[in-house]
Amino acid sequence: MSDDDFKRVESQPCPMSTCAAPAGSPCRTGKGKVAIQYHTARFRLMPQLAEVLSVPTPAVRRPGSVWTELPRPASTGTTPAGHVRLGYARASTARQSLDAQLDSLAEAGVARVFSEKISTRATRRPELEAAVRLAGEIRSSGVAVTLVVHEHKRLGRGIELAMLAEELKAGDVGLEFLTGELKGSHDSSGIVFTVLAAMSGMEREYIRDRTLEGHASARKRGKTIGGLGVTNDSILSMALHLRDQEMSLRDIAKRLVVTTGAKKGRHPSPATVMRMLRGHDQLTTNPGHSELLVPLP
């Protein structure tokens, strides 16, 4: 941590509703005093300070004194000089191709593309971090920046996507998706983007609930859902969750355990998992045609 970290923190307004200090001013307490240290929600959004545990308010800001708004940075509100578009592409496994994403980004006119083959389950994605870091550096020089991605799922879902959007917002970096349900340019601080990001995280739960309702309805009509004694709604739910984490069929099978019947305590085969998920997808696509399901052995 350097002596001028507070300048980086104050380059953006505090997102805490209880503080909401504008750019250029220190954070404040609920009693209207200058806070001893900057709110975590503020400095955590700065890529350069992502690993810092706390950023104290410097003595020049007089911590504990009555809070007053300080002059805002001269660059605040100025028109950006130019516009740079950076691209990001990701595949989950080494076997998957990035060609379609790279072609799409090239057609969108991005200046540089960061790409990697890594699962969304990874705690760190080096190329994404590098893209966000470069975007912040370019923006701090006075040039407008947009991070362009083929589809929002390449970045993440739900809370993960919302957290990234907050980081981009802190750096005043735009976000654009070329396809999918969030297609288009987004103000990551806007309520519409927040709602859409949350909905993308709820997508899997909605599909799961609709599928289980369809299974129950099919059983009432005497239809067979999955392999008797091998799969059930609980196993299906877990398999859907693991697939949503972009795991392979083999890895999903290793995480599942048969709970009843002669195979109790054993793992289903990858082929069984594939047929179970295929049956789920067919039911989801054609909820009124349960006969499309393939019974499991």
Inside any domain, residue 196 = no
Inside any domain, residue 218 = yes
Name the helix (H) or strand (E) containing 159: helix 158-170
181 and 131 within one domain: yes
Instruction: Tell which of 25, 51, 77 closes a domain.
Output: 77
154-181 residue pLDDT tens: 887 666 776 777 778 777 888 899 998 7
271 and 219 within one domain: yes
54 and 33 within one domain: yes
Inside any domain, residue 244 = yes
63 and 49 within one domain: yes
Give the domain extent around 224: 202-292
257 and 230 within one domain: yes
171 and 92 within one domain: yes
Give the mean pLDDT of 95-115: 90
Domain tally, the chain: 3
The pLDDT score that the predictor gives to residue 147 is 93
Please state, in angstroms and as integers, the Cα–Cα distance from residue 137 to each residue in 134, 142, 211, 250, following that order.
Answer: 5, 9, 46, 42
Of the spans 73-82, 83-92, 184-193, which averages the highest pLDDT? 83-92
The pLDDT score that the predictor gives to residue 215 is 60
The pLDDT score that the predictor gives to residue 86 is 94
Question: DSSP of 69-134, one letter per residue?
Answer: PPPPPTTTTPPPSSEEEEEEEEESSTTS--HHHHHHHHHTT-SEEEEEE--TTSS--HHHHHHHHH
181 and 129 within one domain: yes
Q: Which residues pair with 83 in a beta bridge?
A: 144
The pLDDT score that the predictor gives to residue 272 is 84
**Among all residues, which ones are annotated catalytic?**
92
Give the mean pLDDT of 249-277: 82
59 and 140 within one domain: no
96 and 67 within one domain: no
